[in-house]
C-alpha cells in the first residue's frame, strides 16, 4: 500500500507521494562505459534516425543519433550544464561533484519541479562521464551514463546513455538512449525528449 502525506491548505488537500529508490542500471563505484543499447556503427550528416518502444519490463525507451558541428570537448562541457537537458522555467537543479579517479566527472543532480501550484516533485540523478577512447585532453569517445537514484515514486525507473564520438576536430557523432517507467510518460515522450536534447546540443 502506498502511504500518502497529505495536508489541508487553503481549503485544498495537497498530497505528496513518498520517496522511491529507482532500480539501478549502473555501478558508479567503478569505471563503466556500458551502453544500455548498441550505438550506430556510423553517423551521417543530415540524418537523425530514431526509434522508440516498450520493453518486457514495461520500460518506455527511445533512441536517436546524429552529428553535431562542434568539437567533442565542447559537447562534454555542455552536458555538464543541467539546462542542456532541462530548460523549463519550473525546474530547479542543484549540482554537486563527487571526487573520482574512474571518471572524467561524477555529478549528482537534485531536481525539483513545480508543475502546478501547491505541487512539488523531487528526485535525484547521478551522472558519470567516462573516457572511452583517447585521453582526457584529447578524447576520441566519451560515454555519459545517468540514472535516477532516489526521489518521487512517480518515476519508478530512469536510466540513459549519451555517446559522444569524435568524427573530426569540429564534428561529433552523438547517440542518445533513455528508458523510463513513469506516470504519464510514453515511449514517444521519451524519444521526443532526447531529440530535444540533440537539438539543444546543436545550438
133-158 pLDDT, tens digit per residue, is: 999 999 999 999 999 999 998 899 99
Closest C-alpha among 42, 69, 72, 202 to residue 134: 72
Closest C-alpha among 24, 1, 40, 58 to residue 163: 40
pLDDT at site 20:
53
pTM value surpassing 0.75: yes
89-110 mean pLDDT: 92
Triad 198, 157, 5: Cα angle to 5°: 120
**Residue entry with cell 543532480:** 109
Rg over alpha carbons for the chain, rounded to the nearest Å, is 18
Average pLDDT along the chain: 88
158-173 mean pLDDT: 98
Handedness of CA 181, 35, 62, 79 (dihedral sign): positive
176-189 mean pLDDT: 94
pLDDT at site 87:
66
pLDDT at site 91:
86
Residue 16 to residues 91, 138, 148, 153: CA-CA distances in angstroms? 17, 46, 18, 10
Domains of the chain, earliest start first: 47-87+127-202 (3.30.530.20)
Percentage with pLDDT > 70 across the chain? 89
Give pLDDT tens digits for 29-73: 999 999 999 999 999 898 899 999 999 999 999 999 999 999 999
Give the helix/strand (H/E) hosting 141. strand 139-151
Please tell me the distance from the alpha carbon of residue 166 to that of residue 75, in angstroms, as a whole number. 10
Report the 10 Å Cβ neighbour count for 61.
Answer: 23
Quick one: DSSP state of residue 152? B
Amino acid at each position: 500500500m502506498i502511504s500518502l502525506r497529505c495536508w489541508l491548505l487553503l481549503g485544498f488537500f495537497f498530497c505528496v507521494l513518498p520517496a522511491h529508490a529507482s532500480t539501478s542500471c549502473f555501478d558508479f563505484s567503478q569505471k563503466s562505459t556500458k551502453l544500455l543499447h548498441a550505438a550506430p556503427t556510423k553517423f551521417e550528416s543530415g540524418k537523425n534516425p530514431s526509434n522508440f518502444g516498450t520493453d518486457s519490463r514495461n520500460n518506455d525507451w527511445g533512441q536517436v543519433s546524429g552529428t553535431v558541428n562542434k568539437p567533442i570537448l565542447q559537447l562534454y562541457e555542455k552536458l555538464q550544464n543541467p539546462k542542456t537537458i532541462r530548460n523549463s522555467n519550473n525546474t530547479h537543479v542543484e549540482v554537486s561533484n563527487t571526487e573520482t579517479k574512474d571518471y572524467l566527472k561524477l555529478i549528482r543532480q537534485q531536481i525539483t519541479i513545480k508543475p502546478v501550484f501547491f505541487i512539488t516533485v523531487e528526485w535525484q540523478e547521478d551522472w558519470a562521464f567516462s573516457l572511452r577512447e583517447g585521453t582526457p585532453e584529447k578524447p576520441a569517445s566519451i560515454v555519459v551514463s545517468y540514472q535516477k537514484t532516489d526521489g518521487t515514486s512517480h518515476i519508478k525507473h530512469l536510466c540513459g546513455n549519451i555517446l559522444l564520438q569524435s568524427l573530426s576536430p569540429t564534428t561529433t557523432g552523438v547517440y542518445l538512449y533513455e528508458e523510463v517507467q513513469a506516470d504519464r510518460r510514453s515511449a514517444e515522450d521519451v524519444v521526443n525528449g532526447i531529440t530535444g536534447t540533440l537539438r539543444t546540443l546543436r545550438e
